[in-house]
Amino acid sequence: MPQRRHAVTVRAVQQVFPTNSGAVVVDPVDLIHDDLRRSNGTRPWVLMNMISSADGATVVDGVSGGLGGDADRRLLGTLRGAADVILVGAGTVRAENYRSPRTPEDRVAVLRATSGRPPRPRLAVVSASLSLDPTAMMFSPVDPSDPPPLIYTATGAPVEGRHALTRMAEVVDAGTGNRVDVNLVVADLAKRGVGVVLAEGGPSLNHQLVDAGLVDELNLTISPLLAAGTARRILAGPVLRTPAGLKLDRVLTADGFLFCRYLLA
């Protein structure tokens, strides 16, 4: 039975950059869905979205939820509504108890429909070990007609895990041994006609995507919190072979949060 859609009001936010005369009130639904997201034609546009505290922490007590708020959740829902696929690492799926992508609020749903997109984005998970719980919420579709999640793994993944998950997901080899190659993941998504990929972490997957030169856009939410501790950063891994330059495109604010959109230079 299809999930009921609840009308959610995405309140206006202030745009503080760019602007010529102080902060201006904008509608984030129109703003985000009017953004041009066209890659070079050989692969999807990859949009990376993360949240961090003002001192750079990406989790509190192991999850990102403690950093967020209503404004952040509204913006995330709007971003998700602009994506064809949500790409996430298995560690983040387990830590955050990911579920199937929900039906967007009504205005976003109309924009998806008029652009010829399915009602909801498809979930894609990167897991070299296939250590995912077959009873997890991510395997419960919102509607029976929804395609199953994509799980990108490597040829060396355990046979037992492969057998357990092929009953409720489409398992795709995208690497040899015990390592998934994100280049092969994005290439497979391109073959499927995917136009926009929303990458939601974790930091290790983010690092691989950036290091491979596959990220076109970064949406970084800065939470009005200080977290300290040994918190993770938005990228986790060795020093990038080539530091990725960023061009600040836009800054929005609501409820003390800063929503920064960068384009990869």
pLDDT digits (tens, 9 = 90+) for 155-172: 999 999 999 999 999 999
User: Could you tell me the CATH number of the domain that includes residue 130?
Assistant: 3.40.430.10
- Print the domain residue range for 194: 63-264
In sequence order, the 6+-apart residues with CB closer than 8 A to the CB of 256 are 224
pLDDT digits (tens, 9 = 90+) for 110-157: 999 998 999 999 999 999 999 999 999 999 999 999 999 999 999 999
Could you tell me the pTM of the whole model?
A: 0.92
pLDDT digits (tens, 9 = 90+) for 161-210: 999 999 999 999 999 999 999 999 999 999 999 999 999 999 999 999 99
Residue 112 lies in a domain: yes
Residue 36 lies in a domain: no
Domain total in the chain: 1
Residue 124 lies in a domain: yes
- Please say whether the beta carbons of 242 and 3 come within 8 A: no
DSSP state of 82: T
Residue 45 lies in a domain: no
Residue 16 lies in a domain: no
- Please say whether the beta carbons of 239 and 71 come within 8 A: no
Calpha distance 171→154 (Å, rounded) = 10
Residue 35 lies in a domain: no
